[in-house]
């Protein structure tokens, strides 16, 4: 009887763990799909989207769908997203990130928006390989220019290693994320790939993209293709 009870308990635990793993993977796939939809919407608004020269110079693209802001005196910001980087043979498989921040002042309410962060230098790519990066501290950051023919000509934009965009009511615009922190989400990355992989291995192109990420990467490839000058 005791053996049977133990066997039933083990089977039950195995089923529970399998179901939990399947649920976690579904959530990660849904996050990648949400990131794909954000970029797809961005492609549909070329006159208000990312300028061609900025898109062509992007070394990494991070998308944080439904970035949440809530505030009452002290504001909090939090979001989960994915990042891919340009390699010598296309765009890398995705890794998972978190974006957190805080703001102070007399404020109330909450909102959710989609964010796109573009690394525009090799140094920015290298910094993303660290455990966490403070925007405006570890890396210069600026609200990105919008419009297909817009130029990143100001000193602030020219010196920025990260350009940031937000989507509100279907329209994209530059957004100030100074002070926010990008964290590697090693737990989600491990769950997605089934083993521990470093961000450097993934983002440098050392891992084949899983099938569930191909649509997202296809949209990245279309939107951030290199021009003849890059």
Q: Is the pLDDT of residue 19 over 50?
A: no
- Report residue 60's pLDDT band, with 50, 70 and 90 as the boundaries: very high
Helix (H, G, I), strand (E, B) or coil at 196: coil
Q: What is the mean pLDDT of the chain?
A: 77
**What is the per-residue pLDDT across 127-160, written as a single tens digit (0 to 9) for each?**
888 888 888 888 888 887 776 555 555 555 667 8
More confident residue, 113 or 111: 113
pLDDT digits (tens, 9 = 90+) for 154-210: 555 667 888 888 876 556 667 778 888 888 999 999 999 999 999 999 999 999 999
Q: What is the dihedral of CA 196, 38, 114, 183, to 10 degrees?
A: 20
Q: What pLDDT score was predicted for residue 42? A: 78
Q: How far apart are CA 216 and CA 36, in angstroms?
A: 5
CA distance 42 to 37: 9
pLDDT > 60? residue 64 = yes
Q: How far apart are the C-alpha atoms of 221 and 94, rounded to whole Å?
A: 13
Query: How long, in residues, is the chain?
Result: 230
pLDDT band (50, 70, 90) for residue 6? low
């Amino acid at each position: 009887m005791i053996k049977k009870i133990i066997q039933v308990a083990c089977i039950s635990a195995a089923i529970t763990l399998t179901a939990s793993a399947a649920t976690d993977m579904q959530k990660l796939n849904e996050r990648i799909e949400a990131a794909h939809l954000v970029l797809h919407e961005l492609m549909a608004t070329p006159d208000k989207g990312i300028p061609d020269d900025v898109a062509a110079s992007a070394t990494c693209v991070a998308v944080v769908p439904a970035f949440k802001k809530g505030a009452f005196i002290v504001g909090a910001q939090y979001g989960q997203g994915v990042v891919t980087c340009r390699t010598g043979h296309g765009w890398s498989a995705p890794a998972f990130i978190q974006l957190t921040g805080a703001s102070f002042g007399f404020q109330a309410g909450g909102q959710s928006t989609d964010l796109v962060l573009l690394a525009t230098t090799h140094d920015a790519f290298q910094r993303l390989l660290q455990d966490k990066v403070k925007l405006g501290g570890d890396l210069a950051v600026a609200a990105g220019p919008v419009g297909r023919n817009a130029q990143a000509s100001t000193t602030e934009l020219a010196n920025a290693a990260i350009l940031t965009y937000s989507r509100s009511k279907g329209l994209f615009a530059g957004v100030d994320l100074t002070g926010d922190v990008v964290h590697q989400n090693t737990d989600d990355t491990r769950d997605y790939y089934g083993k521990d992989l470093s961000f450097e291995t993934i983002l440098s192109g050392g891992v084949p993209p899983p099938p569930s990420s191909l649509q997202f990467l296809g949209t990245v490839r279309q939107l951030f293709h290199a021009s003849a000058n890059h």
